[in-house]
Amino acid sequence: MRHLMSPLDFTVEELEQLFDLANDIEHNMDKYAHACSGKKLATCFYEPSTRTRLSFESAMLNLGGSVIGFSDANSSSAAKGESVSDTIRVISCFADICAMRHPKEGAPMVAASRSAIPVINAGDGGHQHPTQTLTDLLTIRSLKGRLGNFTIGLCGDLKFGRTVHSLINALVRYQGIRFIFISPEELKVPDYITDMLKEKHIPYEEVIRLEEIMPRLDFLYMTRVQKERFFNEEDYVRLKDFYILNREKMKLAKKDMLILHPLPRVNEISVEVDDDPRAAYFRQVQYGVYVRMALILTLLEINV
């Protein structure tokens, strides 16, 4: 039995197979409509979510399966003090596969160690968000035709943004990736990530101003400032609107640069940018459904 805790749990070759399957699903949805008939997905979300939970549920329903779960820890027995280990043993009696989001880093890993069914980490604290990374990689591969040889700017809250940490970890396995980290001093990417990049001799730069590096980017990965991870409101208020991508700044970008964002967006991308053909963040959400369908099939070892 296999779980997904980090994007690195899959080799590059396995990811290629997963993305091929996701692209086949994209173009042949009917073929997969009954693939999970009789199977149940449990979504155990101890933290708020719109995309991840609903795209998992949509993915399972598209595959002909069913969905159970909770979207709020307070509506589960966690509110009475039940441990994640006990909850997953119980969920194992009800479902065939589980997607879990938790505010505590490592909680899905604890669940996986006690589970009788595959567990998918749907985001754990500021640590990892592997299915967002699979979504990001599939979007890049589908829209650019390759995963490698590009310059990607990651902008915003690089300290707390788990999607950023997961994506960097995954991209270092491809050739010719150059990173540009754009953040205020207080929200810089953690040292363990820059140490890893130095060790692997992967080029990166850290800058504060978005405008100065815009013309060099093939992708711009925008992120919101993670309000829920701040210890005080004052710091959040000071930093929340540090970057606002607008039409004026987009004039500095390459004609084929793509903007990605894991969403939700707060103010960091002005809505006027949504009509720009380079804005790929809503297409990215759609790829999230295809890749989660492919992941469910892969972890349940269902061949169509």
Interface residues with ligand CP (CB under 6 A) are 49-52, 123, 129, 132, 262-264
* Cβ 291 to ligand CP shortest distance, Å: 13
Determine the Cα–Cα distance for residues 150 and 219; give it in Å rounded to an integer.
8
3-state helix, strand, coil in the chain (%, to 5): 45, 15, 40
* Cβ 201 to ligand CP shortest distance, Å: 31
* Cβ 263 to ligand CP shortest distance, Å: 5
Q: What is the DSSP code (8-state) at residue 179?
A: E
Closest to ligand CP by CB, 62 vs 226, is 226
| Run of H or E including 61 | helix 51-62
Determine the Cα–Cα distance for residues 35 and 21; give it in Å rounded to an integer.
13
Asked if residue 118 has a cis previous peptide bond (ω within 30° of 0), the answer is: no
CA-wise closest residue to 164 among 55, 262, 268, 64: 262
* Cβ 261 to ligand CP shortest distance, Å: 9
* Cβ 185 to ligand CP shortest distance, Å: 25
Q: What is the DSSP code (8-state) at residue 103?
A: S
> Alpha carbon 288 to chain centroid distance?
9
Determine the Cα–Cα distance for residues 114 and 110; give it in Å rounded to an integer.
7
203 CB neighbour count, 10 Å cutoff: 11
Pairing between β-strand 40-45 and β-strand 66-70 as defined by DSSP bridges: parallel
Contacts of 297 (CB under 8 A, 6+ apart): 21, 32, 35, 36, 63, 303, 304
Active site residues: 51-52, 80, 101, 129
Contacts of 145 (CB under 8 A, 6+ apart): none
Any idea what the Cα angle at residue 141 is, between residues 183 and 284, rounded to 5°?
60
Closest to ligand CP by CB, 51 vs 127, is 51
* Cβ 123 to ligand CP shortest distance, Å: 6
Closest to ligand CP by CB, 49 vs 151, is 49
Closest to ligand CP by CB, 47 vs 218, is 47
Closest to ligand CP by CB, 53 vs 141, is 53
Closest to ligand CP by CB, 55 vs 142, is 55
